[in-house]
Structure 1
Amino acid sequence: MWQDPIVQETRGLREAFAAQYGHDADAIFQVILEKQAHSQRPKVSYAPNTPVPMYAAQPCAPEDAPQASRP
C-alpha cells in the first residue's frame, strides 16, 4: 500500500510531541492552551449559530384539537 510522505511526517511530529508529555491528553491540552494564550496571531470568534424554527406551533381551540379514538 502506498504511503504519503506528508502524512507520515505529520504523524511522526504528532507522536514526538505527545511523547514529550508522556501521551497525557490533559498535559498536551494545557500546553496547547498556554501556547494559544501567548500567541500573537489574531483570534477569530463567530457569533453563535441560533437555529431558526421552520414553523411555530399555533395554539388551537379545544374543538380543533385532534380527538383520540378508543377501540
Structure 2
Amino acid sequence: MAGQPGCLTDLREFLKELDQNSDLRAAATLRSLSRIRTELEHLPENSVLTDPVIPNAQDVVLLARQLMSRRR
C-alpha cells in the first residue's frame, strides 16, 4: 500500500460507506471472515504456524477496525 495513494483512497471510501451503513458493515465483516476461513482451509493439515496466509488488505483493515471498535 506504500506508494499507492489510489489504494488508500479506495480503502477510505470503503470504510466511510461501512460507517454509514450498518447492514453493509455486517455483510462485509461476514464476507471477510469467510474469505479468511477459506484461505486457512486451503492450508494442508501438516502445515506449521509460520506458513504464510495472505489475506486481502481490505479484509485485514475491516476486521482490525471491528476489533478496535469493540475495545472502546
Same fold (TM over 0.5): no
Q: Report the TM-score when normalising by structure 2.
A: 0.29
Q: Report the TM-score when normalising by structure 1.
A: 0.30
